[in-house]
Structure 1
Amino acid sequence: MIRVNRHGYTVLEEKRDGFDEEAFIARYSDVLDKYDYIVGDWGHGQLRLKGFYEPQSKLATYENRIDHVMDYVYEYCNFGCPYFVLKKETDINEEESGPVFGGTKQKLKLKRKFNKNEETNA
């Protein structure tokens, strides 16, 4: 389980080793808190995240329902790109032990580290 911003996520699907926990935490935004699922895809060395809802959710539209996630992958992602699908499992209480990632300082630190690694690998 991945913990970020007081939520726990489970990896449901991963294609071509698309999931990188540090990159996900660095890229995560509070806007994604409201979604039931998060899809991440890689293009040109950049991770892009998009939220999706359960089909029965009142907030769900055709485009952002999880049962149409493959339409999104085929239409908006680079052909053959690595991607992953995460499902929000739990809300983490502050009393629970263990690190919870996603705070502003933690995200900036990881973002700097990730960008530095990209520059050295290029």
Structure 2
Amino acid sequence: MDNSKTLHAHGHDAHGHNAAGGSHGTVKSYLIGFVLAVILTVIPFKLVMDGSLPKPTILLIILGMALVQIIVHLVYFLHMDRSSEQRWNVMAFSFTVLVVAIVIIGSIWIMHNANALMMIGM
């Protein structure tokens, strides 16, 4: 038997890396991601149900938790990190976010200007 990595039936070596160089998460990493996602969901839910904070503060906390949850999902479930194997995936994801942001911001800008122009005569 040679010294090269032995691949299991689905093209994965003993460390969970597939033949193409990417890696799957471990049960531990999936559990950590799941627990973080649950915590980041329960906190805003509890704040909304209590209603003890002002609504703008609750909204900012919800938005902050949502952004953190997006990062948790990207890291723990989609396995996007700074490794060289993930560089193209991160670049593709970044480009997608840029295009979506341009579409959303452009749409809001156009609707705002259309509304402003329609209200000139009133």
For normalisation by structure 1, the TM-score amounts to 0.27
The answer to which structure has the higher helix fraction is 2
Structure number with greater Rg is 2
For normalisation by structure 2, the TM-score amounts to 0.27
Answer 1 or 2: higher relative contact order, Cα 8 Å, separation at least 6. 1
The answer to which structure has the higher strand fraction is 1
